[in-house]
């Protein structure tokens, strides 16, 4: 692998070159985070909200995730201090990140807010360990169940490569599965979101489609006009700013 020797020569020959490498990558990752932050900002908006998101490369979705804390996730996703995906594939190579604010879409649908309460009453309260928790904690747990179920539905539709991996550390192998199996709680939650998933997938596809125009005209990101999400283009951000990063 020649790129390893090239990295050693260019960036890992001494402490100064290592420091330079870390500074370059951190500056880039922060630019991606700040563009994601711009994409989710709006007047009086709270950035701490549930999201589902994906990473695309070569026009294919290769990773799908979810989080209850959008602010933390959009920061950690490209910086990678605790998120695993950036440790596997450098964000400099990612073509597009799509973020969907699914709870906002639910609020526009008839009965959308009720589904959260139904999941809380039927599933969260049915868990002996959770039923005595505060209402706020039970509400967050209901959001978690819904977010993970939406994540599963998107993964099942798009079959992202990275989500199909199962790493076996004892012998250093990666198994690839073409069949995603939901956990028990996701399986129980899926019927509650069946009515609303098509609308969320529709907005996912719209952001993916409309953001292509902004990428073509060399913008670094796209914001949904309805404030339902955004798309950011990490590889273009790198190409656009690499002269500054490397200077």
Convert the pLDDT of each residue in 117-130 to its tens digit: 999 999 999 988 88
pLDDT score for 209? 96
pLDDT score for 220? 96
Q: Determine the Cα–Cα distance for residues 245 and 240; give it in Å rounded to an integer.
A: 10
Per-residue pLDDT reduced to its tens digit, 87-112: 889 999 999 999 999 999 999 999 99
204, 100 in Cβ contact below 8 A? yes
Q: Which three-class secondary structure state does DSSP give residue 184?
A: helix
In sequence order, what are the beta bridge partners of 54?
Answer: 64, 98
Nearest of 237, 244, 242, 231 to residue 74 by alpha carbon: 231
Task: Average the pLDDT over 46-75 and give the result.
Answer: 92
Task: Average the pLDDT over 37-49 and give the result.
Answer: 73
Q: Determine the Cα–Cα distance for residues 139 and 145; give it in Å rounded to an integer.
A: 10
Q: What is the residue extent of each domain of the chain?
A: 2-106+150-246
Nearest of 41, 95, 45 to residue 223 by alpha carbon: 41
Nearest of 115, 134, 138, 114 to residue 126 by alpha carbon: 138
Residue 173 has pLDDT above 50, yes or no: yes
Q: Determine the Cα–Cα distance for residues 223 and 42; give it in Å rounded to an integer.
A: 10
Q: Which three-class secondary structure state does DSSP give residue 38?
A: helix
CATH number at 2-106+150-246: 3.40.1440.10
């Amino acid at each position: 692998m020649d790129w390893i020797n090239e990295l050693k020569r260019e960036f890992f020959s001494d402490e100064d070159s290592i420091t330079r490498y870390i500074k370059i990558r951190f500056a880039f990752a922060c630019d991606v985070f700040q563009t994601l932050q711009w994409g989710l900002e709006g007047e009086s908006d709270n950035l701490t909200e549930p999201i589902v998101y994906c990473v695309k490369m070569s026009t294919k979705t290769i990773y799908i995730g979810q989080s209850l804390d959008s602010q933390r996730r959009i920061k950690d996703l490209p910086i990678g201090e605790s998120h695993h995906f950036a440790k596997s594939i450098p964000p400099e190579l990612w073509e597009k990140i799509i973020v969907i604010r699914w709870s906002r879409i639910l609020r526009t649908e008839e009965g959308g807010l009720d589904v959260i309460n139904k999941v809380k009453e039927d599933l969260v309260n049915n868990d002996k360990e959770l039923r005595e928790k505060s209402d706020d904690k039970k509400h967050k747990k209901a959001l978690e169940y819904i977010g993970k179920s939406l994540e599963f539905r998107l993964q099942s539709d798009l079959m992202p490569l990275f989500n199909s991996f199962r790493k076996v550390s004892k012998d250093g192998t990666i198994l690839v599965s073409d069949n995603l199996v939901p956990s028990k709680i996701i399986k129980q939650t899926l019927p509650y979101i069946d009515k609303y998933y098509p609308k969320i997938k529709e907005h996912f596809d719209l952001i993916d489609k409309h953001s292509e125009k902004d990428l073509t005209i060399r913008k670094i990101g796209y914001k949904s006009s309805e404030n339902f999400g955004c798309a950011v283009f990490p590889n273009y951000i790198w190409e656009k700013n690499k002269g500054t990063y490397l200077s």
